[in-house]
């Protein structure tokens, strides 16, 4: 669909299609459920998502916080292909978070927050498949405080990582 007023979002444990022109001051927008993720896992929710260069939506899940705790290894990273089919890419994960692609579009970066590492995978933009996991940054081997969260790559190819609880900017 070539619609410019639709976007896919994670709401609870669902992937939904929202229709909004980006300008209207609407308190409610039309929402169409696309699918429920992890229907067998009652205590999970969507967390971080991003779109790749080919328009595929990547979205991760994690366990709901209960009594201040998040159960480990309950989440999954999904790739949503253009035909709206959901493909499990990485599972299990604890807190599916940062997603980014390098500017050459052949490497996918991923964060499962509690591990405190940034993993890289070979990435094929033609089909969205990832392979050959490797660790490219391990916060456990640094003095940096905080938990890796969101992530992006700038126009110079630099990888930027938000550290939840880090309380400063490190260069």
pLDDT digits over 61-110, tens only?
Answer: 999 988 889 989 999 999 988 887 889 999 999 999 999 999 999 999 99
In sequence order, the β-bridge partners of residue 137 are: 118
- Residues 53-63 have a mean pLDDT of 93
The DSSP element (H or E) to which 70 belongs, if any, is strand 69-70
Q: Is 23 annotated as a binding residue?
A: no
- Give the pLDDT of residue 51: 93
Question: Which residue among the candidates 138, 149, 154, 156 is catalytic per the annotation?
Answer: 149
What would the two tokens of residue 82 be?
A: 């253009």
Residue 12, pLDDT > 90, answer no
pLDDT 10s digits, 125-144:
999 999 999 999 999 999 99
**Three-state DSSP state, 139:** helix
CA end-to-end span of the chain, whole Å? Answer: 41
Residue among 104, 96, 137 at smallest CA distance from 122: 104
| Of the options 3.90.226.10, 2.120.10.30, 3.40.50.300, 3.30.390.30, the CATH number for the domain spanning 6-170 | 2.120.10.30
Q: Do residues 57 and 80 lie in contact, with contact meaning Cβ atoms separated by under 8 Å?
A: yes
Global confidence as pTM: 0.88
Query: 149 an active-site residue?
Result: yes
Q: Is 64 annotated as a binding residue?
A: no
Round the average pLDDT of the chain to a whole number and report it.
89
Residue 171: pLDDT band (50, 70, 90) is low
Q: Do residues 71 and 134 lie in contact, with contact meaning Cβ atoms separated by under 8 Å?
A: no
Q: Is 134 annotated as a binding residue?
A: no
């Amino acid at each position: 669909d070539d619609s410019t007023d639709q976007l896919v979002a994670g709401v609870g444990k669902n992937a939904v299609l929202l229709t909004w022109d980006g300008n209207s001051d609407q308190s409610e927008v039309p929402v169409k459920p696309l699918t429920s993720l992890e229907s067998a896992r009652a205590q999970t929710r969507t967390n971080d998502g991003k779109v790749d260069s080919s328009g595929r939506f990547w979205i991760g899940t994690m366990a709901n916080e209960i009594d201040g705790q998040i159960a480990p290894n309950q989440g999954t990273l999904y790739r949503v292909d253009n035909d709206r089919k959901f493909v499990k890419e990485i599972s299990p994960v604890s807190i599916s978070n940062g997603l980014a692609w390098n500017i050459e579009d052949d490497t996918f970066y991923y964060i499962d927050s509690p591990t405190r590492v940034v993993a890289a995978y070979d990435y094929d933009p033609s089909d969205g498949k990832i392979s050959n996991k490797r660790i490219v940054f391990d916060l456990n081997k640094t003095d940096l405080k905080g938990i890796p969260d969101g992530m992006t790559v700038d126009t110079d190819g630099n990888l930027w990582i938000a550290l939840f609880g880090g309380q400063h900017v490190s260069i």
